[in-house]
Amino acid sequence: MGALHAGHISLIQAARRDDTFIVVSIFVNPTQFAPGEDYAAYPRRESEDLEKCRESGVGLVFTPPVEAVYPADAVTTVRVARVSETLCGPHRPGHFDGVATIVTKLFNIVQPDSAYFGQKDAQQLAVIRRLTRDLDLPIEIVGCPIVREPDGLALSSRNRYLDVAARRQATCLHRALQDGRRLIQEGETAAAPVTARMRKVIEDAGSSRIDYVEAVDPASMQPMEEIDRPALLAIAAHIGGARLIDNLLAEPPGQ
């Protein structure tokens, strides 16, 4: 959605290693913002983004106007059930319908052989994998690692909303995830103590509003009670002026 940072550039770099012609879409998608969210204020840096794409060897940048993507009489929405109904789903009604719809439209317009998405938006990635499979789209979906600041904060366009104090506090998300993974690696198999530990790290760091702290199946996004296989530890919290998400894959000993 623009305001490109090193995380986005890492997707371009991954594509350059694999492919010969790279297309980047830049589109702040109105249908994935709920009423009252930051659509109007979402950072837009088109000239800077275009320059970064040029420097990164992008072959084409697709930046359509909203009215070209969503005609006034459009009535079709793509919905991926179940995968979209946990984690961010209840807190951002309609968000993943908007994601699934715009991604399907961009796939149909651009017709890529492969598409690259960051693991930071793990639920979005799971939704896109599922819709690609269920709709028989001939596209390889490539998930790319989270890019972090040296102190662990996951890169995000919304990090621009953080003042100095909130920026410092926001590092608690990664610390919480690391603590949760450490518990699992030490042999804890119940999800409840793991999520309780993560929640405490966030609460001890200062004032925030936590949307969720969960251990879920990485593919289905369904909550896990017993961690007897790889689990995705996932957090969403409001810190300062930003809603931040982060996640980490944790594997029980011996897996």
Which sequence positions are flagged as catalytic? 8
Q: What CA–CA distance (Å, rounded) separates 68 from 62?
A: 12
What's the full length of the chain, in residues? 255
Q: How far is CA 196 from the centre of its chain?
A: 23
Q: Encoding tokens for residue 206?
A: 């200062």
User: What residues does 245 pair with on adjacent strands?
Assistant: 236
Nearest alpha-carbon partner for 89 in 249, 239, 220, 232: 220
Give the amino acid at 236.
Answer: A
Nearest alpha-carbon partner for 17 in 56, 51, 72: 56
Which three-class secondary structure state does DSSP give residue 216? strand
Q: Encoding tokens for residue 54?
A: 């040029």
Asked whether the beta carbons of 214 and 128 are under 8 A apart, the reply is: no
Instruction: Show Cβ contacts of residue 170 under 8 Å, excluding neighbours closer than 6 positions.
Output: 153, 159, 162, 239, 240, 242, 244
Q: Encoding tokens for residue 123?
A: 């639920």
